[in-house]
Amino acid sequence: TPNLPRRPILELPDELISQIAAGEVVERPASVVRELVDNALDAGATQITLRLLAGGVRLISVEDNGSGILRAELPTALKRHATSKIASLGDLESVGTMGFRGEALAAICSIAEVSLLTRVDTDEEPHGWLLDGRSGELQPTARAPGTTVEVRELFFATPARRKFLKTDATELAHCVEAMRRHALARPDVGFAIWHEGKLSAQWRAVPGGGMTALRQRLSDVLGEDFIAQAVAVEWPSPDAEPLEYEGQRLRIWGFAGVPDAARSRNDWQFAYVNGRYVRDKTITHAARSAYEDVLHGHRQPVYALFISLDPARVDVNVHPTKIEVRFRDGREVHQGVRRAVESALAAPRAGSAQDGST
Ligand code: ADP
Ligand code: MG
């Protein structure tokens, strides 16, 4: 082995630590969109507006009508490992918010120009505040309660990353996809996407809730065709015997496309665990296996499946982007998803050609 010269062990400067962390969290504009929308949802927003310039490379702005941030806490919000969402290991084990790592804003600040405009939704402060991420300068401003985070010139400080970006159209498509994933999970929240000053998508908040609201949101986001060719998944079935540990039990619901609706790509497979969009092999495999007798070749089923289980039975702190989870009992989840989808596909559909009534 070559004799490498001995170099001293040094602690990295804060800025560089954040830039390294940003490499894990922010791959492209869509990653920023996901983090900012997570924050808006955690703040209780009911309306979220995304504005983009040049596919998000020039500007990503996320405006919400959530709780806002107190002036005194504003500088802390941009710091590394600063969060209002957990305070202890116990909190981490039962985390119910999208965020908890306290990393996103700091990471984004280290690789872009960030400004934050916010006003709390209480009488505590009579106006809003504008915080410049770079200088830390604070200015009073007018605004309705809520928060707008503006991110400009993404990767200006890390040109190597910038080179990996695709065309504006491709980056825009990824941003829209990030919004879709959020929108499917929250029919109760209104979403709008503007690109280059033009409205490119709008999904209005759906009143009510449950399967009816989900059906409407799926139709708005994925199109009427998706829902026309899908069956409702509800497991255990609504008329199953309630169990003692009802609140803790594994529940699976959503919509799954009939075999005919399958696609050549797996781009319409949405899976959520406790409200969080995930990419998980156990779920993908279980869902695919439910189609094993009815779907042949490489065709990909379409579905939007929501899984809820006791937060103590799933670890969300596996990956910085939280897109991966680890189940304590993967077999239970696999069996549940498979049975849920299988029984939905087997049930006769009212008014469909399959039940022989037409
Ligand atoms: P995390 O979401 O993991 O807590 P972030 O870096 O994303 O970390 O955000 C840091 C903190 O800033 C949050 O914990 C929250 O208190 C505050 N914050 C960020 N975005 C918003 C927002 N849109 N509305 C209200 N508070 C926000
Ligand atoms: Mg966050």
Which of 83, 122, 276, 316 is the best mutation target for the ligand 1 pocket, counting ligand atoms within 8 Å of the beta carbon and taking the most?
Answer: 83
Residue 3 has pLDDT above 50, yes or no: yes
pLDDT digits (tens, 9 = 90+) for 139-195: 999 999 999 999 999 998 888 888 999 999 999 999 999 999 999 999 999 999 999
Token digits of residue 1: 């082995």
Structure tokens of 208?
A: 């009510």
Contacts 24+ apart (CB under 8 A), 346-352: 347/231, 349/231, 349/258
Question: What pLDDT score does 248 carry?
Answer: 61
The ligand placed nearest to the CA atom of residue 107 is 1
pLDDT digits (tens, 9 = 90+) for 253-302: 999 999 999 999 999 999 999 999 999 999 999 999 999 999 988 899 99
What percentage of the chain has pLDDT greater than the value 90? 81
Q: Do the bridges between strand 303-308 and strand 230-235 make them parallel or antiparallel, or are there none, so unpaired?
A: unpaired
Termini Cα distance of the chain = 76
The values of phi and psi at residue 282, to 5°, are -60, -45
- Domain final residue pick, 203, 232, 256: 203
Residues 6 or more apart in contact with residue 198 via CB below 8 angstroms: none
Same domain, 162 and 252: no
Query: If you measure from the C-alpha of residue 159 to the centroid of ligand 1, how many angstroms do you get, rounded to a whole number?
Result: 27
Query: Token match 């401003």: residue?
Result: 141
Nearest to 58 by CA among 171, 213, 205: 171
The pTM (predicted TM-score) of the whole model is 0.93
The reply to whether 192 falls in a domain is yes
Same domain, 158 and 246: no
Domain annotation covers residue 310: yes
In degrees rounded to 5, what are phi and psi of residue 100?
Answer: -175, -10
Q: Is the predicted pLDDT of residue 198 greater than 80, yes or no?
A: yes
Q: Quick one: which atom of ligand 1 is closest to the CA of 64? A: 23
Residue appearing with tokens 């897109």: 323
Q: How confident is the model at residue 243 (pLDDT cuts 50, 70, 90)?
A: low
* 96 CB-near residues (< 8 Å, 6+ apart): 274, 311
Residue 223 CA from chain centroid, whole number? 20
Ligand 1 centroid–CA 288 distance in Å is 36
Q: Helices (H), strands (E): how many in the chain?
A: 11, 15
Burial class (CB within 10 angstroms; exposed 0-12, middle 13-18, buried 19+) of 85: middle
Q: Whose CA is nearest to atom 14 of ligand 1?
A: 83
Confidence of residue 213 (pLDDT cuts 50, 70, 90): very high
Count how many domains the chain has: 2
Q: For the segment 55-112, what is each residue's pLDDT rounded down to a tens digit?
A: 999 999 999 999 999 999 998 999 999 999 999 999 988 888 999 999 999 999 999 9
From 33, 35, 42, 48, give the residue whose CB has the most ligand 1 atoms within 8 Å, as the site to mutate: 42
Q: Omega of the bond prior to 348 within 30 degrees of 0, cis?
A: no
Q: Which atom of ligand 1 is nearest to the CA of 103?
A: 6
Distance 197 CA to ligand 2 centre (A): 26
Atom number, ligand 1, closest to the C-alpha of residue 97? 2
Atom from ligand 1 closest to the CA of residue 105: 6
Class of residue 331 by CB neighbours under 10 A (exposed 0-12, middle 13-18, buried 19+) = exposed
Which two structure tokens, joined as six digits, stand for 181? 């994933």
Residue 312 has pLDDT above 70, yes or no: yes
Beta strands 59-64; 113-119: pairing state:
unpaired
What confidence tier does 29 reach under pLDDT thresholds 50, 70, 90? very high
Three-state DSSP at 132 gives strand
Confidence of residue 353 (pLDDT cuts 50, 70, 90): very low
More confident position, 183 or 317: 183
Regarding whether 242 and 140 lie in a shared domain, the answer is no
Cβ atoms within 10 Å, residue 34: 25
Q: Mean pLDDT, to the nearest integer, of 297-319?
A: 93
**ipTM reported for the complex, 2 dp:** 0.99
83/50 same-domain check: yes
Which ligand 1 atom sits nearest the alpha carbon of residue 107? 6
CA of 124 to the centre of ligand 2 (A): 24
Boundary (domain end) residue, out of 154, 188, 203: 203
Looking at 183, 203, 223, the residue that finishes a domain is: 203
Q: Does residue 350 sit in helix, strand or coil? A: coil
Q: Are both 173 and 38 inside the same structural domain?
A: yes
Residues above pLDDT 70, as percent of the chain: 95
Which ligand has its closest atom nearest to the C-alpha of 110? 1
* Residue located via tokens 């989840």: 333
Report the separation in Å between the CA atom of 101 and the middle of ligand 1, taken as the mean of its atom positions.
10
Question: Contact, 39 vs 118, CB < 8 A?
Answer: no
In this structure, the chain runs to a length of: 358
> Average pLDDT in the 343-357 region?
65
Give 49's pLDDT tier (boundaries 50, 70, 90).
Answer: very high
DSSP code per residue over 218-253: HHHHH-HHHHHTEEEEEES-TTSPPPTTGGGS-EEE
Q: What is the distance in A from the centroid of ligand 1 to the CA of 356?
A: 53
Say yes or no: 152 and 113 in one domain.
Answer: yes
Residues 312-327, mean pLDDT to the nearest whole number: 91
Report residues whose beta carbon is within 6 angstroms of any ligand 1 atom. Answer: 35, 39-40, 43, 64, 66-69, 77, 82-85, 99-106, 147
Residue 350 has pLDDT above 90, yes or no: no
Considering every ligand atom, which ligand is closest to the CA of 147?
A: 1
Q: Are residues 57 and 168 in the same domain?
A: yes
Output the domain CATH number for residue 278: 3.30.230.10
Query: Is 357 domain-assigned?
Result: no
The CA 168 to ligand 2 mean position distance, Å, reads: 25
Q: How far apart are CA 320 and CA 18, in angstroms?
A: 13
Q: Flag whether pLDDT at 357 surpasses 50.
A: no
Q: Whose CA is nearest to atom 7 of ligand 1?
A: 104
pLDDT at residue 245 tops 60: no
Minimum-distance ligand to the CA of 106? Answer: 1
Q: What's the domain range around 267?
A: 210-348
- Greater pLDDT, 318 or 186: 186
- The CATH number linked to 64 is 3.30.565.10
Q: Ligand 2 mean position to 89 CA, how many Å?
A: 18
Residue range 136-151, pLDDT digits in tens: 999 999 999 999 999 9
Residue 14 pLDDT grade (very low, low, confident, very high; cuts 50, 70, 90): confident
Quote the CA–CA distance of 326 and 346 in Å, as a whole number: 29
